[in-house]
Amino acid sequence: MEWTDEGIVLSARKHGESSAIAQLLTGHRGRHAGLVRGGAGRRIRGVLQPGNQVSASWRARLAEHLGILTVEPMRARAANFLSDSDRLAGLSAACAVAEVVLPERQPHRGTYEGMMTLLDEIERSESWPLVYVRWEAGLLAELGFGLDLGSCARTGAETGLAYVSPRSGRAVGAAAAGEYRDRLLPLPAFLVADGRGAGRALPATLGDLRDAAADGLALTGHFLARHVLGDRGGALPPARARLVERFSRRNTIPSDISVR
């Protein structure tokens, strides 16, 4: 058994004295693990940092074996994030979530391409937290638990959507929420605008952006934990919890800084 593919390093754990077991999100084979000989050594350790893009070759006698991975660096993304705490938290959270949530060896081309876009956005855009939330919403959809944010579950209205039902994942209008308001999850406006080309709901300031991202993370986190990880008895990874915590600190960010 043998294949070659492009992949994003999700994690690498030291195995034995000099090897590592790496988890990759590959373009055509989904999340895939393999033993990297020398992976804990000085030469390859840098390549196996989460978020790095690699060309990977996998080889094993039988398909069910762990197999041997050889990796060649294609793009060292991790180094670009090391000095920025928010972006590093975003990168770590994305890699950790993909590792925990995606089933092994099942192709998820959409998630892979979404993650490439996400990493590009984390690298160059101030509004990357919104892209992160959209990526997690896309992850839910790819796994069969997509949110239905097109119209109000109660009235069918397509405007004024402000909440999401924590049970069904369907949007609820502000007017229709009524006495259930406190039990519903806030729906950040940027998720509603998504896909309609309106772009009207993008936050204007960095403070608003962080608030919207915090609401979005609470929304996707609820459904990832409930639908995807709940059945497996798992929990969202600590790296994601740290990202949520960063965006929950609303008072530390000046609210009048404009988003680039």
Partner 1 sequence: MRDGHIERLIQLLARLPGLGPRSARRAALHLVKRRDTLLEPLARALNAVADAVRPCSTCGNLDAVDPCGVCVDGRRDPSRICVVEEVADLWALERAGVFRGRYQVLGGTLSALDGIGPEDLNIASLIARARKPEVREIILALNATVDGQTTTHYIHDCLAACDVDVSQLAHGVPVGGELDYLDDGTIGAALKSRRRM
Q: Which is nearer to partner 1, 100 or 149 (CB)?
A: 100
The C-alpha atoms of residue 96 and residue 91 are separated, in whole angstroms, by: 9
- Which residue carries 């060292």 as its tokens? 76
* Least distance to partner 1, CB of residue 21, Å: 10
The C-alpha atoms of residue 53 and residue 74 are separated, in whole angstroms, by: 5
Select from 71-79, 129-137, 154-162, 194-202 the region that touches partner 1 (CB under 8 A).
71-79
Q: Which is nearer to partner 1, 129 or 237 (CB)?
A: 237
Q: Which is nearer to partner 1, 83 or 258 (CB)?
A: 83
Q: Which of residues 50-69 bind partner 1 (CB under 8 A)?
A: 50-52
Select from 41-49, 135-143, 199-207, 216-224 the region that touches partner 1 (CB under 8 A).
41-49
Q: Which is nearer to partner 1, 18 or 151 (CB)?
A: 18
Q: From the list 15, 28, 68, 76, which residue makes contact with partner 1 (rule: CB under 8 A)?
A: 76
CA nearest 82: which of 127, 54, 50?
50
The C-alpha atoms of residue 225 and residue 183 are separated, in whole angstroms, by: 17
* Binding status of residue 19 toward partner 1 by CB under 8 A: no
* Least distance to partner 1, CB of residue 150, Å: 35
Q: What angle do CA 129, 134, 147 make, to 5 degrees?
A: 140
* Binding status of residue 204 toward partner 1 by CB under 8 A: no
Give me the residues that bind partner 1 (CB under 8 A), please.
Answer: 11, 13, 17, 45-47, 49-52, 73, 75-83, 85, 88-89, 91-92, 96, 237-239, 242
